[in-house]
Amino acid sequence: DEKPVLVTGGAGYIGSHTCKALAAAGYTPITYDSLCRGNAWAVRYGPLEVGDLMDGERLRDVIHKHAPIGVIHFAAFSYVGESTGDPLLYYRNNVAGTATLLRAMQVEGIKRFVFSSTCATYGTPERTPIDEDCPQRPINPYGHSKLMVEQIMRDCARAGHLDAIALRYFNAAGADAAAEIGEAHNPETHLIPLALGAAKGTCPPLTVFGDDHDTPDGTCIRDYIHVSDLSDAHVAALARTGKGPGFDALNLGTGTGVSVRDVIDMTREITGREVPHSYGPRRKGDPSALVADPSRAFATLDWKPSHSDLSNILQTAWAWMERERRMPPTTRLAQAAKGAR
């Protein structure tokens, strides 16, 4: 018996890994993606339906055709810097696009919904580790767009139309253990691929954003979670839905903080190469430390990260990068490192 699941943004980084996890768990992932930022080569575990999130008619046709049991919604823009420069791009795609999707689901009678939210909804957090009751005060349009969708979900759930879980990711990193898929952003702005690229020589030297943060070594602390652990959590979250309308929000992190310095040191160890780097000023809007309290997700989903130690994150990301097949050309990485954020 088929268990189709619609995965918007299934051609993206976390979406494609979740498609693999869904297939492994006996579901059929149906990817809905415009391919404006996703990669067709990353759609390997089920069919691809090319379409835009703002195209409600196309969404309804695809839902009608595949009759999914639920929707996992990744499709969104996710560059903080871009959102500050062009807020409407983010409010249109992330907020209006999601409203279009939810309307199509409602018309077709689909209620089960798992949403990609983010720790960026907490802004500069009031306390750390961050639990779900921490006040959500985003400090950029990207974070606001995700928080607005959470509000829409709450309201739709209250109206009886939605059975939903929002997953607030901390720092997604790493790649599929078999290196079939991996991170391939264009531009790439994330620390781990930039550090590995610097070690490999395909990226310019890394600039560390600040060494005067209020942390033990002065560099920023983040909670890095392996993309395969995130994927498993999505499958578990989908399985949690199906008991009737409701809304819940869960942090997905490990609960362990890792500094930029730690990432550089471990990158040297894993790659056996130096990581050329220098220290620059702090990046605007960068909180010194973001670490999850993931206990609610552990309890609700019967899930725990098992791939997320830093050495495994770096090993899998490095193995993916070494395959080189599908990595974006060096020039794009170089552009990214110059600070398109």
Paired tokens of 244: 């009737």
x/- letters, 232..271, toward ligand UDP (CB under 6 A):
----------------------------x-----------
CB closer to ligand UDP, 162 vs 310: 310
Residue 226 as a binder of ligand UDP (CB under 6 A): the answer is no
Q: How far is CA 239 from CA 69, 96, 228, 303, 304, in A?
A: 10, 27, 17, 12, 15
CB closer to ligand UDP, 66 vs 222: 222
- DSSP element (H, E) containing 31: strand 28-33
Residue 63 as a binder of ligand UDP (CB under 6 A): the answer is no
What is the rounded CA–CA span in Å between residue 305 and residue 114?
Answer: 18
* Residues 6 or more apart in contact with residue 340 via CB below 8 angstroms: 79, 81, 82, 187, 189
80-109 positions binding ligand UDP, by CB under 6 A: none
Region of 29-37, 42-50, 150-158, 205-213 interacting with ligand UDP (CB under 6 A): 205-213
Helix (H, G, I), strand (E, B) or coil at 181: coil
What is the rounded CA–CA span in Å between residue 219 and residue 191?
Answer: 12
Residue 61 as a binder of ligand UDP (CB under 6 A): the answer is no
Helix (H, G, I), strand (E, B) or coil at 50: strand
CB closer to ligand UDP, 185 vs 240: 185
Q: Looking at 92, 103, 268, 283, which residue binds ligand UDP (CB under 6 A)? A: 283
Q: Looking at 286, 298, 319, 332, which residue binds ligand UDP (CB under 6 A)? A: 286
CB closer to ligand UDP, 202 vs 241: 202
- DSSP element (H, E) containing 209: strand 206-209
Closest CA to 304 of 241, 254, 240, 231: 254
Which residue has the CB atom at the shortest distance from ligand UDP? 220
What is the rounded CA–CA span in Å between residue 179 and residue 177?
Answer: 5
Region of 24-32, 92-100, 133-141, 202-210 interacting with ligand UDP (CB under 6 A): 202-210
Paired tokens of 312: 């495994």
CB closer to ligand UDP, 329 vs 339: 339
CB closer to ligand UDP, 22 vs 225: 225
Listed in sequence order, the DSSP H helices in 91-184 are 97-108, 141-158
What is the rounded CA–CA span in Å between residue 40 and residue 32?
Answer: 11
Residue 190 as a binder of ligand UDP (CB under 6 A): the answer is yes
Region of 150-158, 185-193, 268-276, 319-327 interacting with ligand UDP (CB under 6 A): 185-193
What is the rounded CA–CA span in Å between residue 144 and residue 165?
Answer: 18
Among all residues, which ones are annotated catalytic?
142
Q: Looking at 76, 164, 175, 194, which residue binds ligand UDP (CB under 6 A)? A: 194
Binding site for ligand UDP (CB under 6 A): 171, 189-191, 194, 206-209, 220, 222, 260, 283, 286
